[in-house]
Amino acid sequence: MSKSNNLKIITIIAMMFLYAMIAFVTNLAAPVGKIWEESFKNSDYASMYGMLGNLCNFLAYLVMGIPAGNFLAKFGYKKTALVAILLGLTGIVVQWLSGVTASFFVYLLGALICGFCVCMLNTVTNPMLNLLGGGGKKGNQLNMIGGTLNSLSGTLTPMMVGALVGASLEGKSIADVNIVLYIAMMVFALVFAIIWFTPFAEPQASGEHVVYERSPWAFRHLTLGVIAIFFYVGVEVGVPAALITYLHKNGYTGYDTAAFIAGLYWLLMLVGRTVGSFIGGKVSSRTMVIGVSLIAILLMSLAMILGDSAHVSMPTNWTFVMQQVPVAALLIVLVGLCTSVMWTSIFNMATEGLGKYTAKASGIFMMMVVGGGIVPLAQSAFGSNLIGYIVPMIGVAYILFYALIGSKNVNKDIKID
């Protein structure tokens, strides 16, 4: 195997590590926010307070999205990754300090800093793997594999938080989940060392100044794709977060069980991305998104209609002890199979054929990941009522429109060389 191929493999593996950390940091926000929510339990807006950390996490994308793309274009993938990791480590330390100081505002600051981190990491990993795979189906396949590790990390995070907190949130604080924060600190430090000593292959590093004749916004399929990712991330985060509220607040399960069941959503995302990594080289992104969008709309519709009219057995802890829960919980968890392939597929459709505009487009794309904070916040306004799932349903309907019509590149005449 040639030296260049070895370097390429090392780079791909490094990107996989970063993919996992994105989910680890992001998925701390919802379950930890539920712990802080207990401080506002006497307020009519307690559920919305619980989602403010998640909002700060994703609000960072709106601020950092374009700067992250510009930073990537100017300094390359390795330096961008290292800065992102340092931000992540800082954000986790600040969240830990919020437990020491018992300050909700310190926690929100930590969530915001972590948001800057994951924004920059997303800006690096997605285009890097897409370019290393040569774009198209192979690029999508590499992102699917990275997404599998992302989902594994995302699955474990809420389950760990739930196990540490227990069945009741009463009297609990973020200090009760310090072990999760310590793990995050250690992983960030380890990955920083790996990236520091890894000789990255920079796909776009030609040493020449790149001239952009126009804005990436000139590409219609990118513009509509940016809106699609706004809704997608909101759906991805809001669906399992609202499930915790529904099960716990309505007295169907304890908090630990509700968090575990929500973790099954991410587990199914892992399954979906694993399957997607195998078929990604054969089935187009557009076809996959059309199919899973239709199924997701059906599942959420049935969940709202059936609610607790019937019950099913689902695993509720690490030993997979079965417990009866409303059928709506199973239907909502199954949505994870659908959302599993949406992120990379939407990204690939939105950036396909952009050439030198890819780095800047990635920053714009990341900016609208703020939907992961806004959509769940809007959904939380419905409290523990299942009717709130109408919010993510609207988002999935737009994603379906994008796959069917909006993803077509009608600007092929624009010069990208």
Q: Which domains does the chain have, with CATH numbers?
A: 3-198+217-406 (1.20.1250.20)
> Lowest-pLDDT range, 228-232, 245-249, 286-290, 388-392?
245-249
Contacts of 175 (CB under 8 A, 6+ apart): 99, 100
Q: Which of helix, strand or coil describes residue 257? A: helix
Residue corresponding to tokens 């260049």: 4
Q: How confident is the model at residue 58 (pLDDT cuts 50, 70, 90)?
A: confident
Q: How many DSSP H helices and E strands does the chain contain?
A: 15, 2
* Residue 259's pLDDT band (cuts 50, 70, 90): confident
- Exposure string for 395-416, b = 16+ CB within 10 A, e = fewer: bbebbbebbeebbeeebeeeee
Cβ neighbours for 30, distance < 8 A, ≥ 6 positions apart: 51, 54, 158, 237, 240, 241, 244, 262, 376
- pLDDT of 301 higher than 90: yes
At 404, the pLDDT band (50, 70, 90 cuts) reads very high
Q: Which residue has the higher pLDDT, 3 or 292?
A: 292
8 Å CB contact between 109 and 103: no
Among candidate residues 240, 243, 213, the one with its CA nearest the CA of residue 357: 213
**Cα gap 396→342, rounded to integer Å:** 10
Using CB atoms within 10 Å of the CB of residue 206, give its burial: 0 to 12 exposed, 13 to 18 middle, 19+ buried: exposed
Q: Is the dihedral of CA 31, 36, 38, 40 positive or negative?
A: negative
**More confident: 359 or 251:** 251
CA distance 333 to 348: 25
Split at pLDDT 50, 70, 90, the class of 203 is: low
CB contact at 8 A, 400 and 290: yes
pLDDT average, residue stretch 306-319: 87
Look at residue 343 in the predicted model and tell me its pLDDT: 85
Residues 323, 326, 329: CA angle, nearest 5 degrees: 90
Q: What is the average per-residue pLDDT within 155-179?
A: 81
SS3 state of residue 366: helix
pLDDT at 240: 92
CA 171 to chain centre: 30
Kindly give, in sequence order, each residue whose CB lies less than 8 Å from that of residue 266, ignoring residues fewer than 6 positions away: 23, 27, 151, 154, 155, 157, 158, 240, 336
- The DSSP element (H or E) to which 322 belongs, if any, is strand 322-326
